[in-house]
Amino acid sequence: MKNLKFTIITFYQFKKNSNVERLQNLLKNFCSFHKIKGTILLAEEGINGTVAGLIKPINLLELEIQKLGFTKLELKRSFYEFMPFNRLKIKIKNEIVTFDGSQLDVENYTGQHVVSSEWNALIEDEKTIVIDVRNNFEVEVGSFEGSINPKTKNFSEFKQYVDKNLSENKNQKIAMFCTGGIRCEKASSYMLNMGFKNIFQLKGGILQYLEDITIKESRWQGECFVFDNRVSIQNAMAPGTYELCHSCRNPLGIKDRLSKDYVKGISCSKCINKTSKDKKLKLRERNKQIEIAKKKGLYNPYIKFTPSDFS
């Protein structure tokens, strides 16, 4: 069954490396040759990526990354019937997840990792402050019941949220979570540096929790937004029901798509009055080209590809 689907791996590791240009060239050549798509971010502090491909090339990529020195990857696998990425991007950045540019020792100094099976007990403790580290639009798709939404537009704003709202809670238990765990690594490292004593984080993030915990035991409400063409996932890593608005890139649930302002590929209620006429014309033309490509069997990066198209 898994051989009939694309393998998706999400991975990261904080590990100092100075020759990021060499890593970029090696990984770009490897992924291009093996028809692997997705995004890999490289910085002197480590590696962070989500990519997809056929199962054998993905297995080889994992080995290749380990050969390049990343032997302690935090890695998760999932499977999907369509290619979830339109292209390959391997970028060099100042940080593998943008926080505030400060030099944190994330490789050695983070919060206590809590496995999925122990997470429910932690967040159900009345003395625990539970914080969703993700952006507001992600939280609106789904979150843990009773968790705090900092309502940030991007991860860089989380530092300001901590400074403004949590300075009186430095001795209290604080449990944090994010999609795959990487944002919590930086957030917890920052908070420990600021004098917080009891910082906990969900190991492997929401993705690991949804894979490990049954629906009956789950404290998760809604779906989990992911940064690829799946848009959202549910318990047991099953595909979700959300779609992206191609104009404003916001996730749209079933109710959102019933709105009179929703036009597939053009607009939604969140952007109908914000999108220029020129942009709407360009989006309509893109939709037209996609339909032409489908009918004629031509290549278009926005058409859904199956594993048979890659073999």
Q: Among all residues, which ones are annotated catalytic?
A: 178
**182/12 Cα distance (integer angstroms):** 7
Tokens representing 175 are 């449990």
**163/156 Cα distance (integer angstroms):** 12
Helix (H) or strand (E) holding 40: strand 37-43
Torsion sign, CA atoms 90, 186, 201, 114 = positive
Greatest CA span in the chain, whole angstroms?
Answer: 64
* Distance in angstroms between the alpha carbons of the first and the last residue of the chain: 16
CB 9 within 8 A of CB 58: yes
* Phi, psi dihedral angles at 200 (to 5 degrees): -125, 150
Q: Residue 88: is it exposed, middle or buried by C-beta count within 10 angstroms (0-12/13-18/19+)?
A: middle
Contacts of 19 (CB under 8 A, 6+ apart): none
Under DSSP, the state recorded for 130 is: E
Torsion sign, CA atoms 123, 124, 129, 133 = positive
Give the residue from 283, 305, 310 showing the smallest Cα distance to 294.
305
Amino acid, res. 152: T
